[in-house]
Chain A
Amino acid sequence: MLKDITIGQHYPTGSAIHKMDPRVKIIITFIYIVSLFVVNNFIGYIYVIAFLLSAILISKVPVTYILKGLKPLMILIGITFMINIFMTAGEVVFRIGPFTITEEGLYQAFFMALRLVFLVMGTSLLTLTTSPIALTDGIEHILNPFKRIGVPAHELAMMMTIALRFIPTLLEETDKIMKAQIARGADFESGNLISRAKGLVPLLVPLFISSFRRADELAMAMEARCYRGGENRTRMKELKTQGKDYFALSVGTLLIALLIVNRIWF
């Protein structure tokens, strides 16, 4: 189950999309998400599908790999579908017990589910084509103008970097502590929900303690390496916007423009 989640994973292929400026990719993804909520008819969806499919093709990430990422979200999509199908007022198509299904409900449910699917596919594509470091860098740069109104752009990016850095370390540690407790007769697998939750204490307490110790030591190591926040900090890898970035940005803008026009006129 855990390994099915493709959101947040990086799938390097070296494609043109991989080499794009992360800032541009984030902005285009944002435009794409907005456009998903602008669409309200079939023609609109055709534009969106065309955009998404060409992006996936250029990225060289296998379509099946992206679709696999939908699996763990099927429940969420299902729930959205159900809520919309039963909760939308309109012309009744048929009844099941206390529930009524309307034409508008069917229509709404179908498009909401579709929207969600496209949303997940589009955002997965962002993380699949962008290394975590580039992603945090991009976010930091995009948030930079908002520093004045108190958005801690650098700190947020730093937190993300450190979290990403420590995920493998903590997974390894979890495995080790789990084994050590199992060797002392701990049982993580049987019993009811409450006894299972209780059974996690011997795992979680050591994990928390070690995380605090790590945080403490890391903070000291960072200070020793002259870390004093984002002020006057330079970066080794500077973000560069190239021709293909402007091209992609225009395509993104074109998409949303088309959708708006489509919505107004049809």
Chain B
Amino acid sequence: MSIKIENVTYIYNPKSPFETKALDGINIEIADGEFIGLIGHTGSGKSTLIQHLNGLIKPTSGKITVGDLVITGEKVKLADLRKKVGLVFQYPEHQLFEETVYKDIAFGPKNLNLSESEIDERVRESMELVKLDFESLKERSPFELSGGQRRRVAIAGVLAMKPDILILDEPTAGLDPRGRDEILEQIKYLHDKYQNTVILVSHSMEDIAKLVDRIIVMHGGKIELQGFPREVFKQSKRLESIGLGIPQITHLMEKLKKVDGSIQEEVLTVEEAKVEILRWIRSNKDA
């Protein structure tokens, strides 16, 4: 499902001394099935932006279209929108409340008034997607599980709504490397399997570089940069000036390029760097 954001501005506490422009004339188009990385430091407006896509916040001005639904229009049924757009907040495990894992994941589908059998199927399916064993965990209390598992239960709770668009706000915050890799793998698996639209908010340039099709960089409520990771990470100076970085490996290649112009610096992962450096060394030896 596609998203079109046209000229969206959002002002917090309008007409008061605390008035702040959180979003300032935002224009974004996201195609169906795209995997988007949304980056920007705290306070850049990215959290405000993603809450707009789910109808939790209404823009002060501007238009947002999700699929063929103009969500900023009059008489929009927000319930319809929430079926389409799933939003995983930061530290989503803090929203768990039911006695069992099953019931918690079933909360969303229940609110959609689905039949018992449909709910059951969805709980099984979403638990499988986040690699939680249905039989052994369904009756467990979510509060007895480990931090990483709790987070996966919470994500399953959103997946069970079967959203066409999945938005995740820093899904790996606070997790250790193992937990982080598991979650990211599952998001990638999900995207590959269903070809749904995914928007991933993250601070980790390494993770973004590994996963996404396109990057949107926000700063001060505006879009600072957008484009393919290779293009965006070429602008390391500009990223640094707004408090962001580039993956260490991209930084390495940039420096090597300065030493020898024959090296191809558009590299995003260690694997790519390895191939390029081997090519470079071997070509030098041949010469």
Contacts and interface: CB of A to CB of B under 8 A. Distances in A.
Contacts of A209: 97, 143
Interface string B96-138: 1100000000011001100000000000000000000000000
Interface stretch (A23-31, A153-161, A177-185): A177-185
A205 B143 CA distance: 12
A177 B96 CA distance: 9
Nearest to A205: B97
B97 A180 contact: no
B267 interface: no
B111 A184 contact: yes
A181 B104 CA distance: 11
Given A185-B161, A209-B143, A180 B95 contact: yes
B270 interface: no
Contacts of A205: 97
Contacts of B82: 182-185
Interface in A174-197: 176-177, 179-187
A171 to B, nearest CB: 15
Nearest to A176: B89
Contacts of A210: 94
In the complex, which range does the number of interface residues on chain A fall in?
A: 10 to 19
Contacts of B143: 209
Interface residues of B, number: 22
A226 interface: no
A181 B82 CA distance: 11
B59 interface: no
A206 B111 contact: no
A185 B79 contact: yes
B87 interface: yes
A186 B111 CA distance: 6
Contacts of A173: 94
A3 to B, nearest CB: 11
Contact of A180 (B83, B89, B111): B89
A205 B103 CA distance: 14
B153 to A, nearest CB: 12
Interface in A114-129: none
Given A179-B51, A209-B143, A184 B89 contact: no
A180 B161 CA distance: 13
A179 to B, nearest CB: 5
Contacts of A177: 94-95
A202 interface: yes
A37 to B, nearest CB: 40
A180 B169 CA distance: 11
A20 B124 CA distance: 65
A202 B107 CA distance: 9
Nearest to A208: B97
B108 A182 contact: no
Nearest to B95: A180
A224 interface: no
Contacts of A185: 79, 82-83, 107-108, 111-112, 161
A201 B143 CA distance: 16
Point out which of A176, A181, A185, A206 has the most chain B C-beta atoms below 10 A from its C-beta. A185
23 contacts: A173-B94, A176-B94, A179-B51, A179-B56, A179-B89, A180-B87, A180-B92, A180-B94, A180-B95, A181-B95, A183-B54, A183-B82, A183-B87, A183-B158, A184-B107, A184-B161, A185-B79, A185-B107, A185-B161, A202-B97, A206-B96, A206-B97, A210-B94
> Ordered nearest first, which 6 A-B pairs have the shortest CB separation?
A185-B111, A205-B97, A184-B108, A180-B95, A183-B87, A180-B89
Interface of B: 51, 54, 56, 79, 82-83, 86-87, 89, 92, 94-97, 107-108, 111-112, 143, 157-158, 161
Interface of A: 173, 176-177, 179-187, 201-202, 205-206, 209-210
